[in-house]
Chain A
Amino acid sequence: MATPTTTATLDLAARFPGAVSADARPGYKGWIVEKDKLIEVATAIRDEFGYDHLTAVTGVDYLPEGKMEVVYHAFKTTGGPVLTFKVQVPRVDPVEVPSVTSIWPGAEFQEREAWDLLGVKFTNHPDLRRILLWEGFEGHPLRKDWKEAFYEEDAKPFKSRWPEGKHVMAEEKNPFKDNINFPKDFDPEQWVPEGEAALYGALARYQVQEGSLKTDHIVINMGPQHPSTHGVFRAAVTVDGETVVSLKPVMGYLHRNHDKIGERNTFLQNMPFTDRLDYFNSMSNNFGYAVAVEKLMNIQVAERAEYIRVIMAELSRIQNHLVFIGMLGNDLGMMYTPALYAFEERELILDIFEAVSGSRMMCNYYRFGGVVRDLPEGVLEKIKGLVFERLPVKADELDRMLTENEVFVARMKGVKVIDAENAIRYSITGPVLRAAGVPYDIRRADPYSIYDRFDFDIPTRPNGDLMDNYLLRLDEIRQSLRILQQAVKQIPEGPVMTGKPQYQVRVPAGESYGRVESPKGELAFYVVSNGKPNPFRYHVRPPSFVNITALEKMCVGTKIADFIAILGVIDIVLGELDR
C-alpha cells in the first residue's frame, strides 16, 4: 500500500502572514510563497523548521493561467514527509525568481536545469548557464508554447498514426534537413561556446607564479569519450601536474528531453519510458513512477503485487551494487576481474527479470495498482535459491577478494568523498550520503510501499571516504538480502493488480511527488495532472544528476586518479543524468 506523503502540520501561513498562503487548488498541497519573501521564508524553513535537505527544484508552466511556478520539495534528514512550497510569477519574460543556492547549494544544477528547460531566471545564481541543452538552442522547450521540430499534436496517440497506423517519417517531411532554429543574431559558424571560452580561452588566468618559477595549469577534457566517465559525461578538469585545481562537469550529450516526451505520452506510455532513465535499474524507475501516479489516482496496490514490487526493487538494488563494485575495481585499474565476478551473479538476477517481464534490462513490469503479470512458475524458487544460498556467499566472496586486497585498500582509504554536513547541503542522497554517516534512507525516513513491514537496518559508515562508500554498498547488498529473505517467505497468494488491466488510466487533477530509494539515491517523479489522459507536467528528479552537483567540491585538491574513483563512487548513469 502506498503511504501517501502528507504535508507537514507546520503552518507557514501563520508564521509569515501575507507572504505565504496555502495552496488551495484541488489536488494540490503545500504553500505558495511570495517571490520577494522567498529567501526569508526558505531560510526559516531550513533553520527554524529543520528542513535541511532540499531535494527537488523544478518548474511548471501554467500557460492557461499565465503563470510560471517554481516548485521546491524539502525534507528533513531525520525523516518525515515532504514540505512543498512554490513561487508563482507572471509568465512574462524575464521570469525571475531568487535563487536558493545560498541556502541549499544543492539547488545549483536543478536551478540551471529549470532555466535551461523552462526559462526561469534565478537571480543571484552563481553560474546560470544552460546545462542540458547547448547554448545555440532556441527557446526553452518545457514551456507549453514551445513546439518541437515536426510538431504534430500536444498529446499522443497522434491522429496521423491512429487508427490506420499511417506513419510519416519526420525526415520525409523535410527533405532539406533544415529544421533547426537559432536564437536571433546567432551564427553557429562563428559561435564560440561561452563556457568553453572561459575554460580554454582564459588559460592565462591559471598561470601561477611560484617564486621565480612560472608554471601553467592545463585543462583536460575528461570525456565525453573516455573509458571511465561511465558514458558520455564530460568534465573539464584543470590540473596542476596531477592535482585537480578546478573541475566543471559538462553534460547533456545524451539529452532527449525526457520530460517533454513524457508530457506528450499518456500516463501508461511513460512506464516503459522510465526504463530508459537508469537503465541498470528499470525496476526501481518503474517503482518510482508507479508510486507517484498511484498517489494521484489514490488507488491501493494489490497485496501480492506489493511483495513482488519489493522483491524486484531489492534484486535490482543488489545487481546495481554488484555492477558498482565491479566497475569501481575497473576504475581503479583492476583489469575487469572484479567486474566479471560481479557480472556472473548479476546475470542470474537478470535471468529472473527476464522470466517475469520478458526483458533483462528494459523491464516495463510495474503497472498502476500492481504489476503486469504474476511470477511465472518456478521463479520464486529460483529467487529463494539466490537469496538464501548463492548471493550471501558470493557477497562474502567479493568482500574477501577486494577488502583484503592491500593495494585496493591503499587506493580507497582516506580519500575523502564528502562529509556529512556538505552532503546534506548539496542535496546528496543515497549511498554517498549514508557513507558520509547520515542514516537517511527513504525506505525508513518516509516509508512507501510495504517497507515498514520488514526488519532491516540502514547501514552507515563514519568516514565518507572511498573505502566507506564501497563497504556501504556491500552492507546494502546484505540488508537487501535480509529484506528479500523476509519477502519471499511472507509473499501471499492473490491477484497482482487492483481492478482490471487497462490501456488508459483516469488520473484526477492535482500534483504528486512520488519518491523511492533507488540504488543510486532518491529517485522522484513530480507529476501534475489536469484530468486529461496525458500528464500536464512530468518531471524526473534523478539521483545521479543531483549528486553530481557537488562533484567539483569533492574533487578539488585530489589527484586525477582519485577523481576517476570519486566519479565511479557517485555511481552516475548517463541515461538518467542527461535525460
Chain B
Amino acid sequence: MDWTIWVEWLIKSLFVVFALLTGFAYLTLYERRALAKIQVRIGPNRAGWQGLLQPVADAVKLIFKEELTPAKADKLVFFWAPIITMVPSIVIAAVIPFGPTTTLFGRTIVFSVANINVGVLFLMAVASIAVYGIVLAGWSSNNKYAMLGGLRSSAQMISYELSLGLGFVTAILLGNSMNLHDIVDAQRNVWFAVVQPVGALIFMIVTLAEVNRAPFDMPEAEQELTAGYHSEYSGMKFALFFMAEYQKMIAISMIAATLFFGGYREFWFLKDTFLSVDAIWNIGPWQFQAWFLGPIYMLLKVVVLLFFMIWIRATWPRIRYDRLMSFGWKVLLPLSLAVVFISAVGVLVAQQFDNNWYLAIIPIFSSVAGLVAVGFVDQALRRKSYASH
C-alpha cells in the first residue's frame, strides 16, 4: 500500500467532516431564515451580512455556557450519551458517494471515504446506533421528561427502522447492488423516485421519524416533554445533540438523494450535455472529466430535500404518539412490504422478458397500493371522528 492512499483518505475524510460541520452550522441558519419566511417574520439577519455569522455567534455562546450535570444523574452515561449520538451522524456519511469515479493525477479516485460493497448495510447499522445515545441520555438524566423522551424515541426508532430498511431494500432491488456507487450509476437514465415513487415517499416519511423531525419529533416534543431527552443538557453537551440532529438531517437527505434521486448524477434533462458529470471538458490544453459537478448536484438535491423537512416542520402539528405507532406498524410497514414485493416482481418480469419497459409495472402497482393505504387511513380517521356521536 503506498502512502498516497493515506493522503487521499485524509483529504476525503476532512472534506466530509468539514462539509457536515459547516453544513450543520449553516443548516441552522437556513432553517431559521426559511421558517421566518414561512411565518411572516424576518429571522436572524444581524450578525454579518444576511445573518451569515449567526452560526458563529451561536457556537461562541454555547461554548461559554455553563454545563450542568444533575446531582443524581449517572455521570458517566450522562457524559457519553451526546458523544454516542454525535459520532454516528458523522460516520454515516462515510459511504455516501459525492462524485463519479474519475482519474486524477494518474490515480483512480472514488469519491466516497469508504467504497464498500455493502454500503447500504453500513448505513442501516450506523443509523441504528444513534438511538442509543438518545435513550441513554434520557435514562441517565434522572428526569421524568427525559426518560419519557428516551422511551418514546426507542419505540419510535424500532418501529420506523423496519420501513426504513425496506426502503433500502427497494433501492437495492432496483439497483441490483448494495454498493452505493452502483446504485447511483443505475439511476443514470431514470431516478428510482420515478420508478418507485411510493417507495421514495415512504422513505422520506420514515427519514423524518428517523431524525426526530416534526411531525415525528416525539422524543423532544417541546409542548409535552419540555425538551425530552435533552432537558437536562446544557452548553456544549446540548450543542452536541443539536449538532447530531442537524447532521443526521443532512446525512439522511444525502442518503435519500443517493438512493432515490440520482445521487451526485446530473438531472435527467442535463444528460449527455456538457453539464453531465461524465462529460469531458476541453479548456485550452487541458482535458478533464466534469467530476466536480457531482458534489454540486448533490448539494442542490440535499438543499431541496432539507427544505421539505423545514417546510413540514413549519406547517404540521406533531402527531400523537399512539397514532404515530399505529401509522408505523399498521400502514407504513405493510405498505413497504407491498412496495418491496411489487418492485421485486417488476424487476423479475423485466429480466425475464429482457425489456426495461416492463419496469412500468412498478410505479403503476405501487401507486395503487399507496392509494389503498391512503384510503385506509382516511377511513380510520373518519371512523374516529364520528365515534363520538
A465, B35: Cβ atoms closer than 8 Å? no
Q: A344 to B40: give the CA distance in the assembly, Å.
A: 9
- Taking CB atoms, residues of chain A closer than 8 Å to B221 are 333, 561
Decide if A410 touches B381 in the complex (CB within 8 Å). Answer: yes
Determine which residue in B39, B226, B319 has the highest number of CB atoms from chain A within 10 A of its CB, and name it. B39
Q: Chain B 161-178 against A: per-residue CB contact (8 Å), 1 yes, 0 no?
A: 000000000000000000
CA A318 to CA B144, docked complex, whole Å: 38
Q: Is the CB of B145 within 8 A of A220?
A: yes
Checking A331, A410, A464 against B323 with a beta-carbon cut-off of 8 angstroms, the contacting residue is: A410
Q: 1/0 per position for B69-102, CB-CB distance to A under 8 A?
A: 0000000000000000000000000000000000
Which residue from B38, B315, B381 sits with its C-beta under 8 Å from A405? B315
B388 near A464: Cβ-Cβ < 8 Å: yes
- Extra contacts, 10 of them, besides A227-B222, A410-B381, A561-B223 (Cβ < 8 A), are A332-B318, A333-B221, A334-B317, A340-B40, A407-B317, A409-B381, A411-B320, A463-B388, A560-B148, A561-B221
A30 to B40, CA, bound (A): 55
Residues of chain A within 8 A (CB-CB) of B7 are none
User: Which residue of the partner chain, among B148, B215, B316, B381, contacts A413 with CB atoms under 8 Å?
Assistant: B381
Interface check A350, CB cutoff 8 A? no
B144→A218 contact, CB < 8 A? yes
Chain B min CB distance to A76 (Å): 26
Check if A333 sits within 8 Å of B385, measured CB to CB: no
What is the CB-to-nearest-CB distance from A12 to chain B, in angstroms, rounded to a whole number? 39
A330 at the interface (CB under 8 A from B): yes
Q: Would you give the shortest CB distance from B250 to chain A, in whole angstroms?
A: 20
Of A337, A462, A562, the residue contacting B39 (CB under 8 A) is A337
A561, B318: Cβ atoms closer than 8 Å? yes
B41–chain A nearest beta-carbon distance, Å: 6
Interchain CB contact under 8 A, A227 and B226: yes
Q: Which residues of A contact B (CB under 8 A)?
A: 218-220, 226-228, 242, 329-337, 340-341, 344, 405, 407-411, 413-414, 416, 462-465, 467, 559-562, 564
Closest to B145 in A: A220
Q: Across the interface, do A561 and B224 meet the contact criterion of CB distance under 8 Å?
A: yes
- Say whether B223 contacts A332, CB under 8 Å: yes
Residues of A within 8 A of B321 (CB): 242, 559-561
Residue of A nearest to B380 (CB): A410
Q: Is the CB of B39 within 8 A of A334?
A: no
Judge if B389 is at the interface, Cβ distance under 8 Å: yes
Q: How far is the CA of A228 from the CA of B318 in the complex (A)?
A: 14
A330 touches B39 (CB 8 A): no
* Cα A414 to Cα B148 with chains together (Å): 25
Query: B144 — which chain A residues lie within 8 A by C-beta?
Result: 218-220
Flag whether B309 is at the interface (Cβ < 8 A): no
B214 an interface residue at 8 Å Cβ cutoff? yes
Q: Contact check: which of B317, B320, B388 meets A416 at CB < 8 Å?
A: B388
Chain B residue nearest in CB terms to A225: B226
Instruction: Indicate if B217 sits at the interface (CB-CB under 8 A).
Output: yes
Known contacts A332-B317, A405-B316: A341-B40 contact under CB 8 Å: yes
- Contact of B316 with A226 in the complex, beta carbons under 8 Å: no
Chain B residues with CB under 8 Å of A560's CB are: 148, 224-225, 321
Partner of B214 from A220, A242, A333 at Cβ < 8 Å: A333
